[in-house]
Amino acid sequence: MSKKVLVVDDDPDVRSFVVTVLEENQYMPLVAQDGIEGFEMIEKEKPDLVILDVLMPRGSGIRLYRKLKTKETLNQIPVIMFTGIALRSFLKSQKALDEFNGEEVPEPDVYLEKPVEPEELVAAIKKKLG
Amino acid sequence: MSVNKILIVDDEEIIVKLLSMSLRSDGYETVTALSGEQGLEIFKSESPDIVVTDIKMPGMDGLELLKKIKEIDVEKEVIIVTGHGDIDSTITALQYGASDFINKPVRDEALSIALERAKAKIDIREKLKEYTENLEFKIAEATDEIRRKSNFQRLLIRSSTDAIVAFDHDWKVVVYNPEAAKMFGEAAKDVRNKMTIDDLYTPKIAKIFKNQAKDGKQQNTFSWRENIINTKDGRQIPVRYTSNVLHEKGEFVGTVNFFQDLTEIKRLEKELVQSERLAAVGQTVSGLAHYVKNILIGLKGGSYVVDVGIAKNDTEKFKTGWKTIKRNIKRVGDLTQDLLTYSKQREPAFELCLPNDIVDDVIELVKDTAESKDIFILKEIDNSIGEIMADPQTIHRSLLNLINNAIDACVEDENISKKHIIEIKTYRDQNNYFCFDVKDNGCGMDEDIQKQLFDPMFSSKGGKGTGLGLLVTSKLIEEHKGVIETKTSPGKGSIFTIKLPYGKANKG
């Protein structure tokens, strides 16, 4: 059975692009438009991989990512961050949150800064899912 | 550029002192503040290269300070010292453009790494700034030229190369210099001692000087005034002029008028306004670049989807990709139109139109978008408004702009239990202006956003806005001699009202 990949992004253009890339490579795409819908979908569908935008309305990708990684039943799901925010700023912000909360939320498995070529995205997904 | 001045803001004095000492020993110059408010004051007076601020402070906190600093100078490097581990404030700091985060207690090593990074970024930006500075240089040049011209004008007066025309007590022309001949287009031989004031000037201008002479001694001279003179050969010349009534032993003997041709100065002034506008656009360049990048991402993604559709002969795919492409082409079109509108003078093109029909057209355009986002559009039309003389484009574009903003305000609203509604209302007010309201119950705006609503560089929508929408709308409304008003409350929604004067139908 083909593997399930969830795309969480508020931009419909990004969603249709990623969905097409996934279909082309024999994955089963799922979509959500914001952080809250994304988390519900993860709990319900238990996808094999999540492709996640950072700044979105309703609960942002940061909140969703940290919730996911600190929940034991879900923290093994690999995450590809797919965003316009620079990696350095993102990591810095996460490190500060970690230190204060005494948590150790692992860095995302893959971090892609938009714009991303289809081949790059496929390579990242394959690396995680084979 | 060498970075040397650092502003440290923290409400705990001991931390400020320790940091300051440590940075000074590293060769930096430091200035300090013990609150957000003080930090902002010092930022304004000292203009430090880098700001290091604590988040949590009584009164103005670090986030607010960050926001205010970015409003003053979006490129200033601000390092956030956090000890609060709060996701919300971290997200907010990222959105406001914090350049780095370090945790409390601040370790020298972490701070110096953060400072090194900030310095490297400042260096790169310096180069980017040259572009904008080039524009500023052009403005400086134009300003200089105006100054030179006006000096030149003064020189002309002294050497009597103004247009000088003098009349005797019967209002016959007695002095008429070459400059005057140029200005009025009549040869000296046909004017001097032959024409009267009424032959040379239009009645409007002649009356000014005649009245002056009638008024007696207290009005013997007046300060420079400006006017447009119409010459007999049909030219319109903007002039500065003055006039002296001449007396000899208490007897009125004549009048002398001095004219300066302001055509060139008026042209330069116009140019100056244009280049200032261009500079404002220059400042939005980084925001625009971000916006254009987003469009490009959309176009590339869309063309990939179309390619897949073609290869597989999959019509659905093809349609989806094509929709993305069209949506992004439209964004380019809208952006171009906004930029053109903003950078060019435009006279409203008045014509007979039905404003209520325009409202219907615009609603038709946004209906699908609103529906897909679960937003309900209501309209309340005053049917007594029939055909009016107004610029339909102004009505169309400003209404479309306001409704699109209202949709965004509903989408950005964190309150998901709310049923989002946009109400559009047309009516006539007591001044008999044509008015329309666009009211939404979306996220509303806080005071800071309200203050910057009409600034060219400002967008509250991240990369999704050009920061030109409302600016263009208010320019269109201004050109139409109308007004735009806002009422808003955070969390509850906003209402934008546009009031336009118009001409009556059946007269044009």
Measured in angstroms, the CA of A72 and the nearest CA of chain B are apart by 20
What was the ipTM of the complex prediction? Answer: 0.79
Chain B residue numbers with beta carbons less than 8 Å from the beta carbon of A63 are: 87, 91
> Number of residue pairs across A and B with CB atoms under 8 Å?
95
What digits encode the pLDDT tens for the residues B3-15?
679 999 999 898 8
Chain B residue numbers with beta carbons less than 8 Å from the beta carbon of A83 are: none
Mean pLDDT value across residues B24-36? 90
What digits encode the pLDDT tens for the residues B347-396?
888 889 999 999 999 999 899 889 988 899 999 999 888 888 999 989 99
Selected for mutation to probe chain A from B305, B308, B330 (highest A CB count within 10 Å) is B305
pLDDT value at residue B157 = 46
Cβ contact B451:B506 at 8 Å: no
Domain extent listing, chain B: 5-128, 160-265, 273-504
Measured in angstroms, the CA of B408 and the nearest CA of chain A are apart by 11
What is the C-alpha separation between A23 and B423, in angstroms, rounded? 41
Selected for mutation to probe chain A from B56, B80, B324, B369 (highest A CB count within 10 Å) is B324
CATH of B160-265, one of 3.30.450.20, 3.40.50.720, 2.130.10.10, 3.40.50.800: 3.30.450.20
What is the C-alpha separation between B291 and B321, in angstroms, rounded? 20
pLDDT value at residue B446 = 83
Mean pLDDT value across residues B86-99? 82
pTM, 2 dp? 0.49
What digits encode the pLDDT tens for the residues B157-166?
446 667 888 8
Chain A residue numbers with beta carbons less than 8 Å from the beta carbon of B82 are: 96, 100
pLDDT at residue A85 is higher than 70: yes
The number of domains in chain A is: 1
pLDDT at residue B177 is higher than 90: no
CB contact under 8 A, B293 and A20: no
What digits encode the pLDDT tens for the residues B394-437?
999 899 989 999 998 888 887 778 899 999 999 998 888 999 99
Mean predicted lDDT score pLDDT of chain B? 83
CB contact under 8 A, A16 and B416: no
Give Cβ neighbours of residue A5 (< 8 Å, ≥ 6 apart): A22, A27, A28, A29, A30, A47, A48, A49, A50, A51, A125, A129
H helix intervals, B31-107? 36-46, 62-72, 87-96
Cβ contact A6:A47 at 8 Å: yes
Give the domain CATH number at A20: 3.40.50.2300
CB contact under 8 A, A96 and B301: no
| Residue in the block written with tokens 């991402």 | B297
What digits encode the pLDDT tens for the residues A101-124?
888 889 898 999 888 889 999 999
* Domain carrying residue A46: 4-129
pLDDT value at residue A11 = 86
pLDDT at residue B303 is higher than 90: yes
CA dihedral B279, B280, B282, B287 (to 10 degrees): 170
Chain A residue numbers with beta carbons less than 8 Å from the beta carbon of B315 are: none
Q: Residue B28 to residues B22, B48, B116, B491: CA-CA distances in angstroms?
A: 9, 11, 12, 44
pLDDT value at residue B33 = 94
CATH of B5-128, one of 3.40.50.2300, 3.20.20.70, 3.40.50.300, 3.30.1490.20: 3.40.50.2300
- In single-letter form, the type of residue at position A96 comes to A
Q: Does A91 touch chain B (CB under 8 A)?
A: no
pLDDT value at residue B464 = 59
Mean pLDDT value across residues B431-459? 81
What digits encode the pLDDT tens for the residues A92-101?
888 888 888 8
| CATH number belonging to domain B273-504 | 3.30.565.10
